[in-house]
Amino acid sequence: MAASAAASSRRGFLRLVVAAAVLAAFGLGAARAAGSSVDRAPLSVASLFPGPACPTTAEHEPSAAASARMKIVHQHGPCSPLADAHGKLPAHDEILAADQNRVDSIQRRVSATTGRGKLTKRAAPVQPGTKKSPGHSASSSTPSLPATPGRALSTGNYVVTVGLGTPASKYTVVFDTGSDTTWVQCRPCVVKCYKQKEPLFDPAKSSTYANVSCSDPACDDLDSNGCTGGHCLYAVQYGDGSYTVGFFAQDTLTIAHDAIKGFRFGCGEKNSGLFGKTAGLMGLGRGKTSLTVQAYDKYGGAFAYCLPASLTGTGYLDFGPGSAGNNARLTPMLTDKGQTFYYVGLTGIRVGGQQVPVAESVFSTAGTLVDSGTVITRLPATAYLALSKAFAKAMSASGYKTAPAYSILDTCYDFTGLSDVSLPTVSLVFQGGTCLDVDVSGIVYAISQAQVCLAFASNGDDESVAIIGNTQQKTYGVLYDLGKKTVGFAPGSC
């Protein structure tokens, strides 16, 4: 009996060895043979089209243990304080066209700094008009401030609510890792203001407001500045011709339960462009005027955000070294590549658990940055073509019907009549072996059920910088740490 059992055990062991050898011969691991999530990701088609209502349960609300945590919502989603009363969203062609404007703007800036990539025509310079200094009776014609290289415009993206002034009033602003200077529209708005949802910030009602003087070294930290009546002026022009111009000022900024005293920001009195109904913008770049740098002593130059999987979800923006949690996968922040942006070393891409055949030099030549405001990830042409081919091959093997291209998206599928689909997984690999295993919500971008597209696009060449967009960042706690010079990705954070 014992001998028979032993023989049976040996035969079973041999069968396992032979099976493993066969799998290995075909390049398949045990996990893949079992059909695990290593190579496929299940997706409910309905989840691509969330309902118009905001969930009643509060998610990621600030607490005493996380005093600097703020709730993030998509500015056009139903949870946004700026949402249209009828739930009207921008058209997809408008979102993608605006996204391309932002990408063009970022690439111009990078090209101007590094000399790489294509340098395209800049927008026309801003000519500020006559304005009155807040809290002062004297007025004068301000000098024409030089236009800076097209700044990366935050369009159709995520917002947070901050407090400004004493007593604090609440303002909903876009947060942007691709900008440095924070600004809001200000009364008396003597030149021009676009229509925003909340009342304009009124310096006269804040006991802690003060203009920054022209002699203050902080005035020189601006990329574009001027002077009138001894007061420092700022100007920021964006890639599509949008702009903000006004007084560089300081006041108390409140983020969740924390107060940042003497925070320097732009008090805009001439503003125009595609800013939606927001009150302004929070700059979280690496420049001297950014919130990241100004609050360095308090938070160590570290912050993290988590973008929700859908328009109806909520995420968070948090400050401090532990803001992304303990499970963040870290990669070096390449601070020698240029200012403002957060550069990382992208080294490869995996589709369905398999490395896509792209030389690492394709990524290192162009360089890569992580951006909160770009919607669709842009890749060097060679890398995108390889990704698209690998993705299309896997989708074809599953029998999915192709659909026409849409705008910048050219790898699309028709899911009409399907309730659930299985997508090939997509992973981005960074220096040090760090992987961003893209959440299933970030693999595709849905135009309609009949047109669901791979949410990546080509730069059109191999010289322009690659940009990791916010669609691929969904559900991850994305950590930026200036002190440790790292960028991290913590899965399942929201």
- Tokens for 372, please give them: 């909160």
The reply to whether 240 belongs to the active site is no
The catalytically annotated residue of 39, 176, 251, 481 is: 176
Cα separations in angstroms, 421 against 310, 391, 417, 439, 443: 17, 14, 11, 14, 12
CA distance 263 to 130: 26
**Catalytic-labelled residue, pool 39, 371, 439, 462:** 371
Antiparallel, parallel or unpaired: β 231-237 and 243-255: antiparallel
Q: How many angstroms separate the CA atoms of 220 and 285, rounded? A: 17
To the query of whether residue 462 is one of the catalytic residues in this protein, the response is no
Q: Catalytic site residues?
A: 176, 371
